[in-house]
Amino acid sequence: MAGKSKDDIILTDPKAPHKPKGLLDALSEIQQYFIVEKEGSPVPEDFFTIKGEMSFFGVGFKSAFLSGLISVLFTPIALGVVDKYIPIFGSYEPNLFDRFMAFSIALGFTVGYGAFIARLRKYYIGRITRTAIRWLLGGIYTGAAIKAVFAFVLFHIIYFLVLTPKNVTMVLIKNGSYLKPETKVQIFEFLMNFKPIFLSSAYFVAISTFLLIAIPSIAIWRGGRKLAAIQENEQRWS
């Protein structure tokens, strides 16, 4: 067994469960793993337990799924603005800037989230660090995929089963006694014209989810190759 150097960084209590409470905690732990492995300090093979793996997976899943629901909520609104069904800044005639802002609402959060996770590209080296990153990404990708399927099914149900002429008419008749007849007609026409937005939103969410998966995957893969090349050169010339 190799001796311990006084400069070694030892991870205390390797049997202890590692339970990051949130995404920032998980990223912080990954940074610590990276520092330890980069310094060449000994890390027990059984340090990263099954409980630790599932903790990172759970954090990634919860973060991606719950935050993804925000983008699901705002997507029909944003696309409604682009198609001039919903006013933005008090106007039904959005200019180029208004449409950019609407797309930013729908897509900006997802792209920003993916870019934030892509920061892990700086740490994708070392057995323990890579394992932690893979389990975190596994949770994020699973949560994002389930969110996309949920949104896809939900928006199709709204389009095909909820916003039918018969259903909308029945609701307006039963619950619109306080509305003027012309107001009921306006509401009916608005919903019938607006409902295709839900189909567009279903595919928009699918595309944004693909970007959420692709951005960090490509960045981390390239970052890992770059780190491996740097480490190889350091070992060659040390």
For residue 45, the model assigns a pLDDT of: 67
For residue 74, the model assigns a pLDDT of: 86
For residue 2, the model assigns a pLDDT of: 43
* Mean pLDDT score of the chain: 86
Nearest to 198 by CA among 62, 110, 77: 77
Q: What angle do CA 100, 106, 110 make, to 5 degrees?
A: 115
Nearest to 44 by CA among 72, 74, 2, 82: 2
Look up residue 125 and give its two tokens: 């080296």
For residue 84, the model assigns a pLDDT of: 81
Is 97 within 8 Å of 6 (Cβ atoms)?
no
Nearest to 224 by CA among 19, 21, 34, 25: 34
Output the pTM of the full model. 0.85
Question: pLDDT tens digits, residue range 90-119?
Answer: 667 777 777 777 777 778 888 889 999 999
Residue with tokens 């959005």: 94
For residue 127, the model assigns a pLDDT of: 87
For residue 23, the model assigns a pLDDT of: 92
Q: Which residues of the chain have pLDDT under 70?
A: 1-18, 42, 45, 89-91, 238
